[in-house]
Amino acid sequence: MKKIEHIGIAVKDLEKSNQVFASLFGKPHYKIEEVVSEGVKTSFFKSGPNKIELLEATKPDSPIAKFIEKKGEGIHHIAFAVKDIKAEIKRLQEEGFTVLNETPKKGADNKLVAFLHPKTTNGVLIELCQEIE
């Protein structure tokens, strides 16, 4: 793994939260993207070298809707940039982690992504992401 690529925060109302985080960082989001397959609408902020992704559910059975129902708004996942996502998935499975999707899928922001189940990572949902070239 290379570095933290971004931190994902689950929100109920993307428009309102965009204003909150724009005030926090002193500049607006630079991108909004819907990932229809995941039932999620995302926005991205930059703060120095760091990136924050806000996620709002677009349908009631979206993973984000379920997360907010259970835990409320807040940090949803930490994403790590990887060079070779398939190799990393294989390595982590061999280490005993539960990978939620063995085949990487297309996520927001031009990335191939895979998630590790929080039960094998101390309660933290981990996203692996590889830039699509």
Q: How far is the CB of 3 from Zn ion (least distance, A)?
A: 14
**23-31, 64-72, 77-85, 118-126 -> range binding Zn ion (CB under 5 A):** 77-85
Q: Is 104 in the site for Zn ion (CB under 5 A)?
A: no
Smaller CB distance to Zn ion: residue 25 or 42? 42
Is 8 near Zn ion (CB under 5 A)? yes
Q: How near is the Cβ of 35 to Zn ion at its closest, in Å? A: 10
Residue 79 near Zn ion by CB under 5 A? yes
Q: Which is nearer to Zn ion, 96 or 114 (CB)?
A: 114
To Zn ion, the closest distance from the beta carbon of 127 in angstroms equals 5
Least CB distance to Zn ion at residue 25 (A)? 18
116 touching Zn ion, by CB under 5 A: no
Number of Cα atoms under 13 Å in the Cβ half of residue 10: 20
- Segment 41 to 60, residues that bind Zn ion, using CB under 5 A: 53
Question: What single string gives the DSSP state of each residue in the chain?
Answer: --EEEEEEEEES-HHHHHHHHHHHHTS--SEEEEEGGGTEEEEEEEETTEEEEEEEESSTTSHHHHHHHHH-SEEEEEEEE-S-HHHHHHHHHHTTPPBS-SS-EEETTTEEEEEE-GGGTTT--EEEEEE--
Q: Which residues bind Zn ion (CB under 5 A)?
A: 8, 53, 79, 127
